[in-house]
A and B are shown apart, each in its own frame.
Chain A
Amino acid sequence: MPAATQKTPARPKKPSSPKAPKVGLFVTCLIDAMRPTAGMASVELLEAAGCDVIVPTAQSCCGQPAWNSGDRTAARAVATPFLDAFDDCDYVVVPSGSCGGMLSKHLVDLFADDAPPRHRQKALEIAAKTHELTSFLVDIMGVTSPPGRYQGKVAYHDSCSSLREMKVKDQPRQLLAATGAEVVDLDHADTCCGFGGTFSVKYGDISGAMVNDKAEDVRAREPDVLVAGDLGCLMNIAGRLSRLGSDIAVRHVAEVLAGDLSAAPIGGGQDDAPSTEESR
């Protein structure tokens, strides 16, 4: 099925009103470096929802690679610069369940024990106001209709952190359905794709077996586009789909919701795939 997308016409960007919640976007290092379009789409979605968006520059990575490697010192060094960066914000929004989980669930543990009390306090403040993007739009901002329109079949992949740490499940599906898309679930939707950050480069055989299972699940559904809220999963699944010769498009969920398909899909997929069975 050909996938078409467009923004709803005549929907001017809402000017920020004094009552507009001030939202600090935590961009994530992967989106900044690998997929700027997903970051811009996130800004657009938040503004369309009536938020006053700021993007503090005192941020790079959430520190998770070091935290999950058991290196507390390195993780603290990376997380410290952004501890003060969101002071003025009502919310911190992250277009990633994984980095969102780091901020809202692990930051407090990272700055526990011997950390300076001020850092611990800041970590608590950030944890309390951090949300994953799609759940923020639905649960906090009450968004029911995102700007994008998508006529096609969308498979949504649940990242483990989104699903288990951030309790994101129905929100992105509701928003995707509101774009006009046909939303389908994968067979083993709650099974990890095998990314796991540094796990994927330390244990390539296991990670490779896991992503192969996930890619087969995706192919079985024959979606026009596979979306997820986490760039790590997307790069992993797109990489395997590409290796398998599939041309299913892979995109960050924000791109489809914002109606911004200007960038080529992640990896080697195509938006307008020739609708032959063989190519899938």
Chain B
Amino acid sequence: MEVSSENFKANVETAVVDDNLKGAMGKLTGALRPNRAKAVAGLPEFDALRDHGIAIKMHTLDHIDTYLEQFEANVVANGGHVHWCADEDSARQTILDLCRQHDVKTVTKGKSMVTEELGLNAFLDNHGILPLETDLGEYIIQLRGESPSHIIAPATHLQQHQIKETFQSAHTHLDADRPMDTAEALTEEARQELREKYGAADAGITGANFMIAETGSTIIVTNEGNGDLTQTLAKTHIVVASMEKILPTMDDAGVMLRLLARSATGQEMSVYTTLSSGPRRQGDLDGPDAFHVVIVDNGRSKMLAGSEREMLRCIRCSACLNHCPVYASIGGHAYGWVYSGPMGKVLTPSLAGLEQAKDLPNASSFCGKCEEVCPMRIPLPKLMRNLREQQTEQKMTPLKQRVALSLWSALASRPWLYRKLTGLMTRTLARLAGKRRVFSWMPMIGEWTKSRDLVAPEGGSFFDRYHARTQPIKGADHDDRTQ
């Protein structure tokens, strides 16, 4: 998918005045946040489970080569195939080649963020293969020609009335007067539309929440069952997964699944947890004839060796998005790429390039809520700060900022001089503000004053007042050793 994160500020400007978006984002505070809080409160060992999960992930990342090779060996032993793809070009081409090899004309798709990374739908479409998204949210945004705004709830930026409008214009073969005013009616309509497509598809493409080395299985979790229909009814099942989804054992997956659903939606488990362990064997009642796993690197190996390594612990639960006040204010599309919210602010620069996503790691108040709710305790603010530091080192930051910071640090590293100057400034400002005590506009900080007043200083400085009390000797403040 093309990166448009350089438009971040313009996207934000539009997003913050979008009333539909503001209404839609109410789902975060109204449902997702309280649901997670309730689920976590209901599991006393949640924090211990987190520590266990983190230990599993850290061990796996340390030995990722071993486990990936073990996974491959077991997939092959099960009768499947593994394809290693270093970047998005090779991944797209591999998937296209597989489609051609199996004479695929249409594919059904389960929700998969890595295929969004690859821009797979557009690519297949351009090569004469019709991709049909089967996750309800993905189906809606595919009809609208949009990209996901959330990693597990791709249409979360929409309100119900917008979905109704989308279905009205897309499903023109249905009765125009049909009931469409409830979420249930809309869901049922999508369900009926999709139902007939599953059996007709030549291949099903899904992602993977986890790949299990010891069994050669892939796991997906869904709440709609669309993943099961996608992967069992088509003749060919292609799993696309980024390499860090690997876990050593099924027991490890048990730990992760318990963390995942609670962190994501507040469920104890997702409704469907589906394992795929190769093609249909003799005696199996269903399953695909062919089973392929496309393992995508696309920048992960580089992250493994870099300062953003901890980001590879991410299990894509979306807790950081759901709890982020920045995400809640601007929605997912403003971020300009596949991944949004705090995890996107680290992943996008890491995978797509820092140069293309300069704003993302900076657009955080560092409130720390993301790290607090992350089941993998990924230190997201620290990773964003690392990326800010890289920008400073590579002189990517605006010249104005660099000049301002170096001037300020030259002053602030001389406390006495700093106090003289700030004292002069604050006395002047206090006088200017007078009885109103606030300014509604101030040069240089228009970003502040466009939405709030600037509070005027009280007048005088603490140090002046303190010294007047303790050492009423003129000039005491001149000696920096004075205590």
Contacts and interface: CB of A to CB of B under 8 A. Distances in A.
B50 interface: no
B146 interface: no
Contacts of B466: 39-40, 43, 55
Contacts of A93: none
A71 B329 CA distance: 27
A56 B482 CA distance: 7
Contacts of B413: 60, 77-78, 80-81
Interface in A90-133: none
B187 to A, nearest CB: 30
Contacts of B406: 74
Contact of B368 (A165, A197, A203): A165
B392 A160 contact: no
Given A36-B465, A188-B29, A268-B438, A78 B365 contact: no
Interface stretch (A145-153, A169-177, A218-226, A231-239): A231-239
A70 B457 contact: no
Nearest to A236: B452
Given A29-B412, A208-B16, A267-B438, A199 B461 contact: no
B372 A268 contact: no
A141 B451 CA distance: 41
B24 to A, nearest CB: 14
Among the interface residues B29, B405, B451, which one has the most CB atoms of the partner chain A within 10 A?
A: B451
B369 interface: yes
B12 A29 contact: no
A196 interface: yes
A69 B393 CA distance: 11
Given A60-B415, A239-B453, A243-B452, A33 B12 contact: no
A191 B408 contact: no
A192 B372 contact: no
A199 B363 contact: yes
Given A194-B325, A210-B326, A238-B455, A58 B367 contact: no
B480 interface: yes
Interface in A30-60: 31-37, 39-40, 43, 54-60
A262 B42 CA distance: 47
Interface string B422-441: 11011000000000111010
B401 interface: yes
Interface string B207-232: 00000000000000000000000000
Interface string B347-367: 000000000000000111111
A199 B364 contact: yes
A202 B447 contact: yes
Contacts of B372: 164
Given A81-B413, A192-B367, A208-B451, A70 B397 contact: yes
Contacts of B425: 33
Given A34-B455, A78-B412, A205-B13, A210 B437 contact: no
B399 interface: no
Interface string A186-211: 00101110111101111111111111
Contact of A209 (B16, B29, B392): B16
Given A67-B385, A190-B369, 15 more contacts: A33-B425, A36-B460, A63-B412, A68-B385, A71-B389, A74-B406, A74-B408, A81-B415, A88-B483, A202-B363, A202-B447, A206-B329, A239-B448, A240-B453, A263-B458
18 contacts: A29-B412, A29-B422, A32-B419, A36-B458, A36-B460, A60-B412, A65-B408, A74-B405, A75-B409, A160-B368, A164-B371, A195-B365, A204-B446, A204-B447, A210-B365, A211-B451, A211-B452, A243-B453
Interface of A: 27, 29, 31-37, 39-40, 43, 54-61, 63, 65-75, 77-78, 80-82, 88, 160-161, 164-165, 188, 190-192, 194-197, 199-213, 235-236, 238-240, 242-243, 263-264, 266-268
